Structure 1
């Protein structure tokens, strides 16, 4: 959705290889690497390629205590790896084991096999990959179930996985939650047009209004144009992409300078997957979930409507459910305010997936037992 915007920002970074810029990057990356060190006795810090769906796909597993709940992240984009946010979300790993996966067509997975080595790039194929990754993690970590965390486009996969496989997941958490309703709700689109009018972007407004009413007929170029304008017309979203997303990419200790181009290539390459769910209807697919269900959304998200997410949430039937808005955030709310997101995970999600410890037995006083 936002590949064009990120590519524009990244191009400026990669085109400025001044010694001062690279020296600053090296210093910050070194600090981030130190901060990400896990040396606890029962911790885990491993990453590498796993054969998933017939190709090598990159998976990272990090946490300070393997006794903690396991969280499998499904990144957005499509093609936008969340591995770059490791330093920002370091505190999450004190309470959860965080699994991050570069889907086929994404970042390190794309870099490993190249465009020709990604196989079938469809929603259905990546959905099957997600099930396989889930089972790999369950086996590797010896757990029955994992928490499923869907970010943005990843939440489209997440809803369906959580509904279909309650035996694999102990809770679902959506953020930047995408809700599909076959186009019945056009509030996000109308708000977008209003922003273009308010900022005097009449040429851009005319271009958007000239698009076919049926989004299935849009070309890849038209989709990219729409996505770029939707994001850049909102100051908070644009600020977040530049500072949080691009800043994290530039300073990630997990990715070399040469690898950064794969992040951008991955988002462009994965655009072909985006058209898959355009006709989905989440209400028709079902609002019943057999596992705890949570949505934590940026209160000012202009890309994935918090109001639409709330309407769907209100209709959800689940054993436990919770909804919260994250203040002063648009898209990427979990990464703009990672500590607030962690507070929500600890207050709502962890209690729903961790059995309470049994109360200690009261000490028996001498003479208090019954006579035999």
Structure 2
């Protein structure tokens, strides 16, 4: 049952396919529309820090975050390794959606997918479009191989004028993708972060996020081991399957209105690939939005702009 008071702030543990998975639900008014976030990664949940950045969003939506199977508060050593597949995650996401809709006596909600979560979202929308008013693809992943190649060449261009820099030397050392050695992937991601195109454009924001995780009520120091173990576990079992994804071939259309949000400085998922996908996609309504002061997490880096953008466009429930 929904509490009689209009605001809501709860943590909820669900059992989905015999695994315990955690939801966090927050909003100023339960009469507002529902917004379900599918977090990035694999294995990089947001519950540990995100409330600090969504105060304005909670004025317009009841926001639902979900630590996916094997991630964060949903991590457990007992999770079967064979269940760590995209198809299981799609099924989990649909079950989470249905539980939320039932709990709030609603028929549809808004769906947001960030990075890895945007891959899950595209599949979910293929299977159950009738459950969603609209979709927000944040740092939309389309083809990880294309995205790495585009980012690599962007960094090379940036480094041409700084041949003596550590990034220039490292990026030339590893050469163009694909890379067979894991160490080359780690060097590449190090270069992305140093080029200010990684998780956040401004490095102090990434430090702020880490501080929120350590000091917040949701995770705190006591649950950081779950975050770290879940991240490692999820990457190990899902990365290979993620690299097989090609949205250009497998997702020719989406049957709900779509809004794609990209950070101008993003080198993890460069805007040029997402925008090409957006241009080719068939949808009843579609919009392309670029946040000028963001890298890979525009909803965190520019939270006020994100909240105002969604509240302005999310009118499909009226």
> What TM bracket, shorter-length normalisation?
0.7 to 0.9
> What CA distance in whole angstroms lies between the structure 1 residues aligned with 2:293 and 2:112?
21
Match of 1:229 in 2: 191
Aligned to 1:177: 140
Task: Tell me how far 1:181 sits from its aligned partner.
Answer: 7.4
Distance 1:178 1:246, change over 3 A: same
2:15 corresponds to:
51
Larger gyration radius, structure 1 or structure 2: 1
Q: What is the aligned counterpart of 1:188 among 140, 144, 151?
A: 151
Q: Which residue does 2:69 correspond to in 1?
A: 104
Residue 261 (str. 1) matches residue 225 (str. 2) = yes
Q: How far apart are residue 253 of structure 1 and its match?
A: 2.6
The answer for the alignment partner of 1:246 in structure 2 is 210
Match runs of 1:71-220 below 5 Å? 71-83=35-47, 84-110=49-75, 113=76, 115-117=77-79, 119=81, 120-180=83-143, 183=146, 186-195=149-158, 198=162, 200-201=165-166, 203-209=169-175, 213-214=177-178, 218=180, 220=182
Instruction: Spell out, residue by residue over 1:19-51, the C-alpha distance to the aligned partner (whole angstroms, 9 max, x if none).
Output: xxxxxxxxxxxxxxxxxxxx9822222212110
Q: Distance in 2 between matches of 1:340 and 1:147?
A: 18
Deviations 1:97-132, CA, capped at 9 Å, x for gaps:
11110011211111xx3x333542222222221122
Residues 124 and 170 of structure 1: is their aligned pair in 2 closer, same or farther, counting only changes over 3 Å?
same
Q: Contact conserved, 1:44 with 1:65, CA < 8 A, in 2?
A: yes
CA distance in 1, matches of 2:149, 2:184: 18
Q: Unaligned 5+ residue runs, structure 2?
A: none
Deviations 1:246-274 (A, max 9, x none): 23323323223211232222222211212
Q: Which ranges in structure 1 are unaligned for 5 or more consecutive residues? A: 1-38, 356-372
- Contact 1:290–1:319, Cα closer than 8 Å, also in 2: yes
Looking at structure 2, the residues matched to 249 and 132 of structure 1 have their Cα atoms a distance apart, in angstroms, of: 27
Report 1:2-41 matches (<5 A).
41=5
For the 8 Å contact 1:182–1:280, the answer to whether it is kept is no
What is the TM-score normalised by the length of structure 2? 0.87
